[in-house]
Amino acid sequence: MKKERTYNDKMHTLGRIWDIIVLVTLLLVPAVIGIRLNVYPSASVIFKGLMKVAPLFWVAGVVEIIAYTPLLGTGGMYLSFTTGNISNLKLPCALNAMETAKVKPGSDEGEVITTIAIATSSIVTTLILAIFVLPLRSLLPVISASDSVFAPALRHVLPALFGALGASYFVKHWKISILPISVMCLILIFAGTMTAGNLIIVGVIVSILGCLAFYKLKWL
Amino acid sequence: MDFKQDGFMIIVGLCVIAVILGQSIHFLVKAYKQGKKIGIETSTMKSTIISSALFSITPALAIVATILALAPSLGIILPWIRLSVIGNLMQETSAATAAVEALGHGGLTSEITDHTEFTAVAWVMALASMMPLVVLPFVLKRLQSGMKKVTGKSDTKLVDSLSAAAFIGLISTFIARAIIGQDTGKVVDGVVKSNNDGAGVMSVATLVSAVIFMLVLSKIAEKFKLRWLENFAMPISMFAALGVAIILTQVLPESISSLEWRPLTACIGGMMR
């Protein structure tokens, strides 16, 4: 008798199919633009531009896959990587959803809740972007002008997001939190312009090593 | 009409978001059905949907702002497409800058009018961000079973702490940037321009307000057993903290509200070296 496929297996199959559809769509965009404009940029120019950013982006992409796998679940992983903006939107959103629904990453319930959270988040984000780019296009410069009333809010989305999200984690896991925050501040004192994107990898490694050490010392 | 935002480009954009919405809706329906099957309460799933939707509004507006930053040189449609699919707030600006520079075209402030240049930038932005999609279908399943083997043998308390630690590591980088980070700046047409991300009075005030709102709201929710408030504490705190940022900017003298600990001008020499 054929073994029944689990929900997880089905999500892997679906995820792969959508992954390929999105990958093809992604590459079709520049292709159709080129065909429409009847221009074919030389491979060497594209390669030159690509080499400036691709090595960093490609390595970061692979590291992100490893870092997020235990947290986001199968459906959540495929969906996050096709829709993007993970560390600043999809991941915090999924973690907040698991926290309030009181489910754990990696459990069957966690899998369902993360997928629901990330799918909702990507629908809302996609719609907001489309609404602002198409019908509200004329409003855009007014809202984002550096002297608009909303400018300070748009500039400080990240501190507000991570402050609110971090608060409950820091209270619950204050012992684990002290080390990575101090180390990150120290690094920034000497290398102030390091972007969060580059710092994340160091932050996660420091935090995990610290947690392991505390566990061995029975401080947790 | 400008070829960068004519009807054709808009149709391309709409096709792309149709694909993204298609996948999201498909996954949402699948997960919802599975949730019902394994006995998750409908109310829990519904409040997950509402709170995730609210949660996404302001970060989405920040992404809109990034689209706008790229619009002067690339038009509004290409940045919109790129940030709707795999795009990333932090990466797209540098990908576009690198592509434009490789073409020998100053920086991102001047408009791209050449068809070949525009197409080349579109290629670089797409190719630069495709890696996770190429790798994911091959590795995710293996990675998950590998991780399960490791964590399966360990103490559950350690596994829980480690997954919290991984996330705390991530949050702490953003927190540290808000406390002490310096403006990352960018060189546009030979001039160093602010990226508006240096830490100062406002970033610390926003951060601290968000933490306080969150702690107070969670306490209230817990004390009065307000389940709905528990679900929305996070998005409400975020909006409230952004409200504080807006109000403080209005009421504080500009010399205080615009104060950054390590302003860009003081470090230009260091950056250019």
- Report the pLDDT value the prediction gives residue B109, as an integer from 0 to 100: 61
- Report the pLDDT value the prediction gives residue B262, as an integer from 0 to 100: 85
- Report the pLDDT value the prediction gives residue B269, as an integer from 0 to 100: 42
- Report the pLDDT value the prediction gives residue B268, as an integer from 0 to 100: 44
DSSP A16-71: HHHHHHHHHHHHHHHHHHHHHHT----HHHHHHHHHHHHHHHHHHHHHHHHHHHHH
- Report the pLDDT value the prediction gives residue B272, as an integer from 0 to 100: 37
Q: Which residues of chain B have pLDDT under 50?
A: 266-273
How buried is B224 (Cβ within 10 angstroms: 0-12 exposed, 13-18 middle, 19+ buried)? exposed
B1 part of contact set with chain A, CB < 8 Å = no
Separation between Cα atoms, residue B83 and residue B17, nearest integer Å: 10
Tell if the CB–CB gap between B64 and A129 is shorter than 8 Å: yes
Does A120 reside within a domain? no
Does A202 reside within a domain? yes
Compute the nearest-CA separation of B98 from chain A (Å): 6
Does A183 reside within a domain? yes
Separation between Cα atoms, residue A86 and residue B88, nearest integer Å: 8
- Report the pLDDT value the prediction gives residue B270, as an integer from 0 to 100: 42
On whether the CB atoms of residues A10 and A113 are closer than 8 A, the answer is: no
Compute the nearest-CA separation of A101 from chain B (Å): 6
How buried is A217 (Cβ within 10 angstroms: 0-12 exposed, 13-18 middle, 19+ buried)? exposed
Domain that holds residue A211: 173-220
Q: Which of A:67-126 have CB within 8 Å of B? A: 67, 69-71, 74-75, 77-79, 81-89, 91-93, 95-97, 100-101, 104-106, 108-109, 111-113, 115-126
> Does the complex come out with an ipTM higher than 0.95?
no
Compute the nearest-CA separation of A1 from chain B (Å): 23
Does A212 reside within a domain? yes
- Report the pLDDT value the prediction gives residue A197, as an integer from 0 to 100: 64
Q: How many CB pairs under 8 A join A and B?
A: 542
- Report the pLDDT value the prediction gives residue B89, as an integer from 0 to 100: 64
Q: Which of B147, B215, B243 sits opposite A69 (nearest CB)?
A: B147
Compute the nearest-CA separation of B111 from chain A (Å): 17
Does A57 reside within a domain? no
- In this structure, the number of other CB atoms found within 10 A of the CB of residue B155 comes to 10
Does A83 reside within a domain? no
Q: What are the per-10-residue average pLDDT scores of chain A (220 residues)? A: 79 95 95 94 86 79 82 92 87 89 88 96 94 79 75 84 86 91 93 75 88 88
Tell if the CB–CB gap between A158 and B67 is shorter than 8 Å: no
Separation between Cα atoms, residue B173 and residue B66, nearest integer Å: 21
How are the residues of chain B apportioned to helix, strand and coil, as percentages rounded to the nearest 5? 80, 5, 20
- Report the pLDDT value the prediction gives residue B271, as an integer from 0 to 100: 42
B43 part of contact set with chain A, CB < 8 Å = no
Does A25 reside within a domain? no
Q: Indicate the number of domains in chain A.
A: 1
A173 part of contact set with chain B, CB < 8 Å = yes
Does A82 reside within a domain? no
